[in-house]
Amino acid sequence: MEEKKVDLRKFNRGHKGVSGRKPKSEELKLIETLTPLQPIALEKLRQGIEKGDFKFIKLFYEYFYGKPKETKDIKITQEQPIFSIDYDDISEDIKEEDIDEL
């Protein structure tokens, strides 16, 4: 008797109900859960900044001013050919008879 294989594609985040952004109700529930911890978290942030710990200072500025836009300097020193053609090899392959026909 042949076993039937289960189609697991519905679990790869593309199936209805599990894809996309989480519902607003879950987001609100998380905010309600974390709200009582806000004064403690702000106090710990203040203590870290007062100690001069760079991680806390960086975190503060990233939320206060936003993360700076990441830039990359790309320098091309020499143009690289995708492939190399040796015209001498090609000319040897062409016979004089082929040239006369053209």
How many angstroms separate the CA atoms of 15 and 17, rounded? 6
The structure tokens 């020193």 sit at 77
State the pLDDT at residue 23: 80
pTM to 2 decimal places: 0.46
Please report, for the chain, how many H helices and E strands are present, in that order: 5, 0
pLDDT < 70 positions in the chain? 1-2, 8-19, 89-102
Residue 10 DSSP class: G
State the pLDDT at residue 94: 64
How many angstroms separate the CA atoms of 54 and 60, rounded? 10
